[in-house]
Structure 1
């Protein structure tokens, strides 16, 4: 797992990644609630869909409780004395599910003190192994340090859960962590391929256009423009202290990265242009999830990009 001294977890998650991205987009997206991004069963087809699927059996590296690597890419359940633990190794298919987890620190004791990061003390992600079914939640914590994430319906397959947080005390105080585990959803699972890359994407009537051509190994700015019916969108509302939240997962490994927004938030009139600092650690295809809010509704667009 990776740590960093940058001010936010997302900034730190990106800072560890040392290479930049080459970008192209393709879309499959759906809307969600204002409090979280929940796209159960997001399909990788050319248009938004609520059917999702993935290959059946996870590999040994995907088995629940087997994530003990620590190579700075979000794929470990441990880092610098902190561990992500959970008794949940399977979750039900096709209905709402509750995932409970704990972060332990020194002496394997539950951590209960977390700093605010982009308005939340914990950011929780669930992503299916074919990069469909993305969910981004802000779970609640009990006094004993147990977090509860209320997931919408999950499709059968292997899922990876990420916990992104910053301790506000102890040896990790002020450092950003992203730890992950895997969980299995039983049932008949079928892999859904990623769509081909493109430069624009559609979601809920909005068009997202990407400008810029970052290359691997070089930090590079990325520009995203949002329009609707051919007109620039200028009513973006703040979401998590920014006008757009962008996370990425690698097609082959499910590595996690956050693309840091650099556009200043000045009110409810954001857009149409959004700027990001793009750095991703590994060549290959990545699935990006761009979240932005208008009229009190959160929109989530799934984007495929290729990193050379």
Structure 2
């Protein structure tokens, strides 16, 4: 398999204006889909990382900085190397039930550790951990030492097989300006209990908020999704910027944990986002996908999880 390799930031910026206009028309015709509600609490779900500084009022759209906005991603993130860039780590196992550092390095085509990275959504590295049954989602922003060694510190992990992803953009070399998603597996020893994936639904709850997703994605096709956030039946309009957007949305495919980043297209204007947010979704394969939506209110980060089926 090949890992995700996405277009340059300049191409994304050129495509963003046209895509935003198309999404506006498509979303006008996209009705709200009903569905049963499920509690979003997922064992081990963890946001990680300190929240970003609040964007000032009038802050423009963050679409031009979103990975993949210029076209389709060409992979699923399931390989540890692509185009000479490789994710390496001496860590093959992590201890269950406690925080433990996961150290890794990105090496370039010359075999040397990469130390120059361009920020994507305000961070030079996005690190994800997901268990094979799609529970225990963690999204972290590791720190890098001078020699190019990154350290992520996942919260306590449940026993089982995990896949860890590194999402980054080199700041130089042959891969400069290209977005990569590479991954490796890690084992957490112990008696593993597999959780059943919750059924597909268009609505879920977390921390008193109700998150509803409208849209019916088809595998391999670009499709708009709308997310609506309410609380006690009232629309939420105080979403705060998180990673230069009002919500961060990541998806993992049932069975192989293939990775997809659903790109936000809603402009950011201060601390009053919502209640509706728009996303550009392109899920590469059919089947069930577990979605993790992260949004911030009152300085607190919330993570809502639901299952969405791509036809």
TM-score normalised by L of structure 2: 0.80
Question: Which residue number corresponds to residue 246 of structure 1?
Answer: 249
Does 1:265 pair with 2:268?
yes
Q: What residue number does 2:41 align with?
A: 29
State the alpha-carbon separation in 1 of the partners of residues 202 and 85 from structure 2: 39
> Is the 1:26–1:305 contact (alpha carbons within 8 Å) kept by the matching residues of 2?
no
**Structure of higher RCO (CA pairs closer than 8 Å, 6+ residues apart):** 1
**2 CA distance for matches of 1:258 and 1:165?**
13
Q: Check conservation: 1:26, 1:199, Cα contact below 8 A.
A: no
Superposition deviation, residue 190 in structure 1: 1.3
Superposition pairs of residues 150-161 of structure 1, within 5 angstroms: 150-161=153-164
- How far did 1:26 drift? 4.7
Shift >6 Å, 4+ stretches: none
How much has 1:250 moved relative to structure 2?
Answer: 0.4
Superposed counterparts of 1:114-129, under 5 Å: 114-129=117-132
- Checking the alignment, whether the CA contact within 8 Å between 2:46 and 2:136 is kept in structure 1 is no
1:2 and 2:4 aligned: yes
For structure 1, which runs of at least 5 residues remain unmatched after alignment?
Answer: 12-22, 38-70
Q: CA RMSD in A?
A: 2.0
Partner of residue 189 from structure 1, selected from 187, 192, 204: 192
Indicate the SS of the match to 1:106: coil
- Deviation of 1:215 (Å): 2.7
Unaligned segments of structure 2, at least 5 residues: 14-32, 52-73
Q: Secondary structure at the match of 1:95?
A: coil
Q: TM-score normalized by structure 1?
A: 0.81
SS in 2 for 1:97: coil
Q: Which residue of 2 aligns with 1:300?
A: 303
Q: Report matched runs for 1:57-72 at 5 Å.
A: 72=75
Paired residues, what number? Answer: 263
Q: What whole-Å deviation, never above 9, does each CA across 1:94-115 have from its counterpart, x for those lacking one?
A: 0111000000013211000000
Q: Show the 5 A alignment for 1:22-101.
A: 26-29=38-41, 35=49, 72-101=75-104
Check conservation: 1:139, 1:147, Cα contact below 8 A. Answer: yes
